[in-house]
Amino acid sequence: MPPSAWTGSFLDVAAKLSDLREDNYRQLLALSTLIELLVEKGIVSPEEMRMKAAEMEDELDAMI
């Protein structure tokens, strides 16, 4: 593969990675906002969130 083709391929991958990071940031922001609103409105407590997250993590670990 000529160096110019490798460079172009590398730049494509870098651009896609940058797009994924932006998407990930926006999804994390939306999720964090939703959690904050649920806690502020008293729908769930921070402890309930922690317990559920630990439960889901344990389930995921058991599947792997």
The more confidently predicted of residues 60 and 4 is 60
Per-residue pLDDT at 21: 94
In whole angstroms, give the CA distance from residue 48 to residue 52.
Answer: 6
In whole angstroms, give the CA distance from residue 42 to residue 49.
Answer: 12
- What is the pTM (predicted TM-score) of this model? 0.67
Listed residue (35, 33, 12, 31) closest to 23, CA to CA? 31
Domain ranges of the chain: 3-63
Per-residue pLDDT at 6: 73
Listed residue (17, 46, 49) closest to 9, CA to CA? 17
